[in-house]
Amino acid sequence: MSKEDKSIHEFDFNLICEYYSSLERQGPGSPEITIKALSFIDKLSNESRIADIGCGTGGQTMVLAQHSLGHIRGIDLFPNFINLFNSNANKLNLQDRVKGLVGSMDSLPFQNEELDLIWSEGAIYNKSGAISEKQAIATYVDKAFIVQSLDNNFNVRRIERFMLQLADENIQPVLVLTKTDLDFNKDKVENALRHISHKIPVFFTSIQSPSSIDPLRKFISTGETVVFTGSSSVGKSTLINALCRQKILQTATISDSTGKGKHTSTRREMVLMEQSGILIDTPGVKVFGVTNDDPDTLSEVLDFSSFEG
C-alpha cells in the first residue's frame, strides 16, 4: 500500500466505504438493539412494506427480516454496499423478501403511503441537520487516547474533564503519557492519578523504547476507531507512526532558534492500521483563525468544521 493510500485528509468516503464494507454493520447498534426496537412495533404482516434507509451491507436489515414479516427494501448510496447486501440476503435465503437498491435518502423511490415502516439505524446521522457531524463522528469512535507528554504537559484536571465528556459519548478514555525518556517524577505522576487510575488505563510511552509502544498497539482491536487528542507537540503523530511501524504522518521538526518542537499539522488525518483499527489524529483546534493548542473539550476535538482544510 502506498503512503497516499494510508493517510487521507478530509475523510475519504471511498476509503471509509471499503473499510466499513468488511464489517457486519456500518453504524452503531447490535442485533439485540434491532430486535428491541422492533419489539415496539406491532401489526406487521406478510403484506407489510418496509424500507431500511441507509442499509449498508444489511447487517441490521437481515436481523429485521428474520424477526418480522413483510417485504423489505434496503436503500443505500453506495453500490458496493448494495451488492454485498443482496448477496447477504441470498446467503440467508431471504432474497424473496429482502432487496437492496442504490438510492439516496434525499430522494427516495417510494410513493406516498406506500410504506408501513421506515427503518434507519445509524444512517439518519448523515441527514444534514438531523444530527451534527460532531455527534455522527462520535458514534464511530470507540476509544479516545488522551495524549499528554511528561515534559510539561501533564494535567490531571484536563484528563478528568475529557473523561467526563467521553463517558457521555460512550467512548472509552485511555491515558497515554509520552516522552518518558525525558526527566519526570514517576511517583508524583502516579500519585496524581491514583483517584482515577481504576477508571482509565494508563500507558507510559517513549518513542525511544519500542517495547513501550507494544502494549498500546495490542490495546487496539480490529475494527476499532481511536481518536488521539492532546495539545500540539505532545507526540500524537509520532505515536501513530510508531503504532503503524511506518512514517505515515508528518511530525514536528525542531525549530533551530527555540529548540522547541514546531507544530506542523493543521488538519485531522485518518490512518488505517494494518489488520487493526482506524486511528484519527487531531491537531490543535482552530478558533476564530487562531490555533488553540490545548483542545480542552471533546467537542473541540470532534468539531472538525472549525479545522483548517
Ligand X SMILES: Nc1nc2c(ncn2[C@@H]2O[C@H](COP(=O)(O)OP(=O)(O)O)[C@@H](O)[C@H]2O)c(=O)[nH]1
Binding footprint of Mg ion on the chain (CB under 5 A): 237, 265
d(CA 224, CA 1): 20
d(CA 136, CA 41): 26
d(CA 263, CA 233): 6
Q: CB 103 → ligand X: shortest distance, Å?
A: 41
Candidates 233, 248, 271, 285; binder of ligand X (CB under 6 A) is: 233
* DSSP E strand stretches across the chain: 7-8, 49-53, 71-76, 98-102, 117-119, 143-149, 172-178, 202-204, 225-229, 269-272, 278-281, 285-287, 290-292
Closest to ligand X by CB, 199 or 247: 247
Closest to Mg ion by CB, 75 or 270: 270
- Contact code string over 176-215 relative to ligand X, x by CB under 6 A: --xx-xx-----------------------xx--------
Q: CB 101 → ligand X: shortest distance, Å?
A: 43
Closest to ligand X by CB, 62 or 226: 226
- Picking from 153, 166, 176, the residue whose alpha carbon sits closest to that of residue 294 is 153
Q: CB 9 → ligand X: shortest distance, Å?
A: 15
Q: CB 38 → ligand X: shortest distance, Å?
A: 45
Residue 238 interacts, among Mg ion, ligand X, none and using kind-specific CB cut-offs from 5 to 8 Å, with ligand X
Residue with cell 441537520: 129
Closest to Mg ion by CB, 141 or 239: 239
6-14, 157-165, 225-233, 266-274 -> range binding ligand X (CB under 6 A): 225-233
Question: Per rule CB under 6 A, is residue 237 in the interface with ligand X?
Answer: yes
Which residues contact residue 83 at a Cβ distance below 8 angstroms, ignoring those fewer than 6 apart? 100
- Picking from 226, 218, 223, 270, the residue whose alpha carbon sits closest to that of residue 26 is 223
